[in-house]
Structure 1
Amino acid sequence: MKACPAGSPPRKATTARTRCSKRSGAASKNNPSTEEGRFCGTAFFMEETMLKKLFSVFAAMVFAVVTLPAAEARLRPVGPELSKLEWKPAGGYSRIETVDGRSVLVTDVPKDKASGHHWFERELDLKPYRGRTITFFVRYRCTDVSKPPQPYNGVKFMLAYKPGPEAPMQWPGSNGAFGSTDGWQPLAFNVTFRDTAETGVLSLGLQDSSGRIEFDLDSLQAGILFSPEDRVNLDYKVKYPERITNHRRQRGVMSPGTIRPEDLKTLKEWNVNLIRAQQTRNWGAIGTEVDLAEYDQWLNGKLDNLEKAMDQAKEYDIKFVIDLHTPPGGKISSSNMRMFFEKKYADHFIEVWRRIAKRFKDHPQLYAYDLVNEPVQAMPAPYDYWNLQRMAAEAIREIDPDTPIMIESNESDRPQTYPYLSPLAMDNIIYKVHMYFPLTYTHQRLRGEGPSSVYPGVLEGEKWDKEKIRETLQPVRDFQLRHNAKIYVGEFSAIAWAPGAEKYINDCIEIFEEYGWDWTYHAFREWSGWSVEHEGTNPSDLKPAKEDTPRKKVLLKYFSRNR
C-alpha cells in the first residue's frame, strides 16, 4: 500500500480494512461441505493528516470461470448496541426520522451551507473493544451529496480516538462518497484496538458537502466479522517441488507501469533476479473497471507488453511475478472490491486468471502468479477474499500444475492479519505480505506538509526499531513455521525523504533474510517518491540523485547476494 500526491503516477494509498467471510458451497479440500470457516483481519488506522494524503485505498487482481457459491457472514456483537444509544446532532441540519418503521439518522444540508461538519455523534467506551478487530457497519443512502473539496470528506462514517495515552489522535472510517446512491448501501470500516484504548467519538453524516444522507440506525452495529477461531486447514503443511525448495533466493523490485529494455539492463547491473510486474491503472479510483469488454481490451494490451518484457529478460535471467493490480469491477464506494460482492465480477476474476495461466504457463521467465494485490474486504460478502483466491488457484491448477501461486491476506496484505489467515489445502502456494508499518513513518508528508518522523524513534506513541519491526512481522513468521509455508514480501518501502529510511529498509531486509523470505522492494522507476534513484525533501522537489542514495546502497548490498 502506497500513495503518491495528486497528479503523480498511481501508487498506493492507505486506510486498510478487515478481511473475512463465511464459507459455503461445493465440497473440496479447502471448502468441505460440512465445515464453514470465517476469516478476519485487523484494520489499520492513522492520523487525519495521513488520511488526507492516503485516502484512496487498495486495488486487486483477476482470474477464471467457476460456479461461485453464495456466502454470508454476520457480525458477532461486541459492546453496547449502537442502535439503542442516544445520538447527538451537530451542525444544525440533522434529525431523526421514522422511515418504514425504522429509525433513520437524516442530515439534509442546503447547497450554500456545505462548509463544516453536519452529523450525528456519540461518545463510545472503547474498553470492550480492546485487543480486538472491530467492524463498524451501517446502511446508508444519499441524494445529491456535493463533491467535497477534499477526497476524505463528503459522506462520513468515522471514529475519532487515541489508541493510547501517548498516541496521536486517529480517524479511521469509511469516508469520501458523494453523489446519489441507488437505494440503501452498506458502509463499513474496521479498527484493531490496542489494549490501551479508552474512549472515542463515532460520527455519521456529511463534512464539507451539501445534500441529503440517511443512515439506517437500526442497522448500525459493531462486532467481529471473523476471528482466528474460524480458521480451517489448521494442521496443513505446504509442500513444494524441489525446484522451488532449492532455488536461489529471490531478491528484486516492483516494476514500473511499463518495463523498458533499458530498465532490464539496469536491473541486471544491480544483480536483481525477480520483478513483480504490476498490471495496473486507475489506482485509488472508485467506480472504474465495470465495463468488462473495455477492461479486457486494456488488460490484453498490458499483457502484450508484459510478454515482450519477459522475452527480453531471458538474456538477463530475471524472473517475473505476474501481479494483476487492477481487478474487474474495481472498488465500490466503501473501498471494498466490487468482485467480492457481485458474481459477474467474481466470475470474471477467475476467468481472467484462466487466460493468464494459459498464456504464460510455459514461459521460462515466469516465477509465480500473484492472485490479488492487497485485497480489502471490510464487510460481509458473498464471494470473500479468501474463497475467491482459492477458486482462482484451483482454476489455475487445472491449466498449470507447476507454477507457484501467491495468496494474500486481507486489509492490504498486512502482517497483522496473519493470525486470522487460513492456508489453502494446496501445495506449491506461496504466502505474501506487504510491510509499511508504521504507515505514518513510511508514507509521511506525502503532500509536503507536517512534521518529519524519524526511524528509529517514537512513532504513534511507540518505540520503533528493528525489534518492533520483528514484532510486527511475527504473525507471518508464526504462519510460516506452523504451515511450512514459503513467504514472499511483495512490497516494502519508506518514502524518499523519511529520515532514517535507509535504516528502516535495512532492518526490514535483515529480518527477511534471517527468516528465508524472498522480497521485492517498492518500487523501481514508478513514482519518484519511492525511487532509490531520486532524492528530495517533499514531492515538489524530487530530482534524480547525482550519486547513489543511502537507500540504493542498502538495496545493492543485498542484491549482490544474487550473484
Structure 2
Amino acid sequence: MVSGSFFEFHVALGADKMSFWDVQRKGTNCFNQEPSEAWFDAAKSLGVQWVRLAFDKWDGKERDFLMGDADHYRGLVKEDLAKLKMVLGWAAARDIKVVITPLGLPGNRWVQLNGGKRDLRLWRDRAYWEQAAAFWRDLAFALRGHPAVIGYNILNEPTPEMGTGLSEYADADAYAEWYRKNRGTPRDIVAFYQTIIARIRSVDRETPIMLDSGWFAKPNAFTFWPRLKDDRILYSVHMYEPFTFTSHLNFSEHKGYAYPGRVPFNGRTEIWDRDRIRTFLTPFLRWAKDRGIPSNRLVVAEFGCYRRNKGAGAYLGDVIQVLNENSLHWAFYSFREDGWDGMDYELGSGGLGEAYWKAKGAGLNPPLPRRNNPLFEVIRHQFQPDI
C-alpha cells in the first residue's frame, strides 16, 4: 500500500510537470549523432525552453541504442541508459526541459538505421506491441521523476497507414473509412497508443505523454481519433508542407519553387502562402475543438525548411505566425544538427564556401560558419524578442 504522503508527493509532481504545458512553449529538436554539453549551452543562450531529444543515432553498446535489439527487446542497455541520464543531467543543469523521443521501437527500427528500408513489423504483428510496451515501461520507470523530463513522445512519425492505399493527404471521411477497416488490427494506432500509455502509467502516472498522429504526423491524420481518457496527453503533428518546396530536393534538383508561390502539391499546383498554411493545419485544430481539447494540449513538434530554398525565411515566419496565433506549442527543426547543415539556419541561405569543403576533403573538421543572418533572425526573435 502507498502511504498518503508518498501519493500526495507524486500527484503534486505530476501537476507540476503538466503545468509546464499550460502556457505556450517554444523549443527545438536535437537529433544529433553526438550529444554534447556545448549544444545545451548554445540552446540555453538562445532561450530554448524545451527540446525534443532523439537518441537513436548515438553510439551504443549493442546494435540499437538503449533497446539493444529492435528485433527482440530484452531490456534496457544499462550503459546506454547511463549515457542518456548524463545528457538529461546537462539539460537539467541549464533548466531546459526534454521530451524523450525514440525514432524507432521494437519491430519498427528507424529507416536510416535499417538500410533505408521501412520496418513495418510493429504494424503487422501485435507481438511487437508487447515488446514496445515493455521498452516504454522500463524507460518510464528509469526516468520517472527526472527534473528535466517533461514528456514521453512514444514514437516519432508513425506510419501504420503505409502500404494500405490511404493517401497521406486523405480527407476526414477517407481516414474514418481506413480506421473502420483497420480497427482491432495491428494497424490500429489508437489501440496501440492506449496499450503503451497503460504500460507507462503502471510505473509513472505523472509525466505527460506526447502522441504523434499517423502518416508521418500529418495534421489530417487525427481526424478519426477520440479524445483519450488520460488527462496528461499532448497531441502532436509535424509541418513540412508543401514538401515539394521545403525539401532539399527543391534546391539540389534545381526545381526552384519559391515561397510564397505556386507549388505542386497532392497531384495539383497550388498557391502556398500563410493562408494556405492555416488551411492545411485546420483539420487538426477543428478535430481538437470538436473534442474539447484546448490549444495548450496541441503541439507542432517539428517544422522546417531547407535553408537554401527561395523564401525559406518567409515560410518559417508564416508557419510560426500561424502557430502563435493559435497558441500552439512548437519546436523548430533543427538547431545545430551535427550530421547535416540543411536546416541549420544560423548558416544562412548561402553555401558553406570553398575553404570549408576543401578542409573537409582533407579530413579536417572545420567549424561551421554560424553567424547572425536574416534567416536565423526569424527563429532567434521568437526566443529573444527584446534583443
Please state which band the TM-score falls in when normalised by the shorter chain. Answer: 0.7 to 0.9
Which residue does the alignment assign to 1:275? 51
CA gap 1:390/1:383 in 2 versus in 1, 3 angstroms? same
Which residue does the alignment assign to 1:484? 293
Partners of 2:370 and 2:140 lie apart in 1 by: 42
Residue type of the partner of 1:508? V
Matched ranges for 1:441-480 at <5 A: 441-445=245-249, 448-460=252-264, 461-480=269-288
Answer yes or no: is 1:391 the counterpart of 2:174.
no
Aligned-pair distance for 1:329?
Answer: 1.9
Which residue does the alignment assign to 1:149? none
| Residue in structure 2 matching 1:532, options 345, 350, 355 | 345
Which residue does the alignment assign to 1:365? 148
Partners of 1:345 and 1:376 lie apart in 2 by: 15
Residue type of the partner of 1:436? Y
Q: Larger Cα Rg: Structure 1 or Structure 2?
A: 1
Matched ranges for 1:163-174 at <5 A: none
Matched ranges for 1:87-486 at <5 A: 241=15, 244-245=18-19, 247-255=22-30, 256-281=32-57, 290-292=70-72, 296-297=76-77, 301-330=79-108, 335=118, 337-378=120-161, 379=164, 380=182, 381-382=185-186, 384-445=188-249, 448-460=252-264, 461-482=269-290, 483-485=292-294, 486=297
Partners of 1:562 and 1:337 lie apart in 2 by: 47
Partners of 1:376 and 1:418 lie apart in 2 by: 13
Partners of 1:525 and 1:303 lie apart in 2 by: 24
Residue type of the partner of 1:480? A
Residue type of the partner of 2:303? F
For each residue in 1:84-136, what CA deviation from the matched residue of structure 2 results, as whole angstroms up to 9, or x when unmatched? xxxxxxxxxxxxxxxxxxxxxxxxxxxxxxxxxxxxxxxxxxxxxxxxxxxxx
CA gap 1:539/1:328 in 2 versus in 1, 3 angstroms? farther
Which residue does the alignment assign to 2:333? 522
Aligned-pair distance for 1:328?
Answer: 1.2
CA gap 1:348/1:315 in 2 versus in 1, 3 angstroms? same
CA gap 1:369/1:561 in 2 versus in 1, 3 angstroms? farther
For each residue in 1:193-218, what CA deviation from the matched residue of structure 2 results, as whole angstroms up to 9, or x when unmatched? xxxxxxxxxxxxxxxxxxxxxxxxxx
Give the secondary structure class of the aligned counterpart of 1:417: helix
CA gap 1:241/1:467 in 2 versus in 1, 3 angstroms? farther
Partners of 1:307 and 1:242 lie apart in 2 by: 21
Answer whether contact 1:469 1:508 (CA < 8 A) is retained.
Answer: yes
Judging by fraction of residues, say which structure has more helix.
2
Query: Once superposed, which parts of structure 1, at least 4 consecutive aligned residues long, lie more than 6 Å away?
Result: 538-543
Answer whether contact 2:234 2:299 (CA < 8 A) is retained.
Answer: yes
CA gap 1:389/1:556 in 2 versus in 1, 3 angstroms? same
Residue type of the partner of 2:252? G
Partners of 2:251 and 2:270 lie apart in 1 by: 24
Answer whether contact 1:448 1:538 (CA < 8 A) is retained.
Answer: no
Answer yes or no: is 1:493 the counterpart of 2:301.
no
Answer yes or no: is 1:557 the counterpart of 2:381.
yes
CA gap 1:551/1:295 in 2 versus in 1, 3 angstroms? farther
Answer whether contact 2:211 2:233 (CA < 8 A) is retained.
Answer: yes
Answer whether contact 1:350 1:395 (CA < 8 A) is retained.
Answer: yes
Alignment coverage as a number of residue pairs: 318
Aligned-pair distance for 1:242?
Answer: 7.3
Aligned-pair distance for 1:547?
Answer: 2.5
Aligned-pair distance for 1:410?
Answer: 0.7
CA gap 1:562/1:432 in 2 versus in 1, 3 angstroms? farther
Answer whether contact 2:70 2:105 (CA < 8 A) is retained.
Answer: no
Answer whether contact 1:455 1:501 (CA < 8 A) is retained.
Answer: yes
Instruction: Tell me the TM-score normalized by structure 2.
Output: 0.74
CA gap 1:303/1:531 in 2 versus in 1, 3 angstroms? farther
Partners of 1:243 and 1:546 lie apart in 2 by: 34
Unaligned stretches of 5+ residues in structure 2:
1-13, 59-67, 165-181, 358-367
Which residue does the alignment assign to 2:178? none
Give the secondary structure class of the aligned counterpart of 1:551: helix
Residue type of the partner of 2:282? Q
Instruction: Tell me the TM-score normalized by structure 1.
Output: 0.52
Give the secondary structure class of the aligned counterpart of 2:335: coil
Unaligned stretches of 5+ residues in structure 1:
1-239, 283-287
Residue type of the partner of 1:467? D
Aligned-pair distance for 1:546?
Answer: 5.1
Residue type of the partner of 1:319? K
Alignment RMSD? 3.0
Partners of 1:322 and 1:546 lie apart in 2 by: 27
Answer whether contact 1:273 1:562 (CA < 8 A) is retained.
Answer: no
Aligned-pair distance for 1:314?
Answer: 2.2
Judging by fraction of residues, say which structure has more strand.
1
Aligned-pair distance for 1:393?
Answer: 0.7
For each residue in 1:128-158, what CA deviation from the matched residue of structure 2 results, as whole angstroms up to 9, or x when unmatched? xxxxxxxxxxxxxxxxxxxxxxxxxxxxxxx
CA gap 1:441/1:302 in 2 versus in 1, 3 angstroms? farther
| Residue in structure 1 matching 2:324, options 496, 513, 531 | 513
Partners of 1:416 and 1:497 lie apart in 2 by: 28
Answer whether contact 2:250 2:309 (CA < 8 A) is retained.
Answer: no
Aligned-pair distance for 1:241?
Answer: 4.7
Aligned-pair distance for 1:439?
Answer: 0.4
Give the secondary structure class of the aligned counterpart of 1:305: helix
Answer whether contact 2:299 2:329 (CA < 8 A) is retained.
Answer: yes
Aligned-pair distance for 1:503?
Answer: 1.0
Aligned-pair distance for 1:558?
Answer: 0.6
Answer whether contact 2:244 2:250 (CA < 8 A) is retained.
Answer: no
Answer whether contact 1:264 1:316 (CA < 8 A) is retained.
Answer: yes
CA gap 1:258/1:454 in 2 versus in 1, 3 angstroms? same
Residue type of the partner of 1:466? R
Partners of 2:198 and 2:353 lie apart in 1 by: 46
CA gap 1:260/1:243 in 2 versus in 1, 3 angstroms? closer
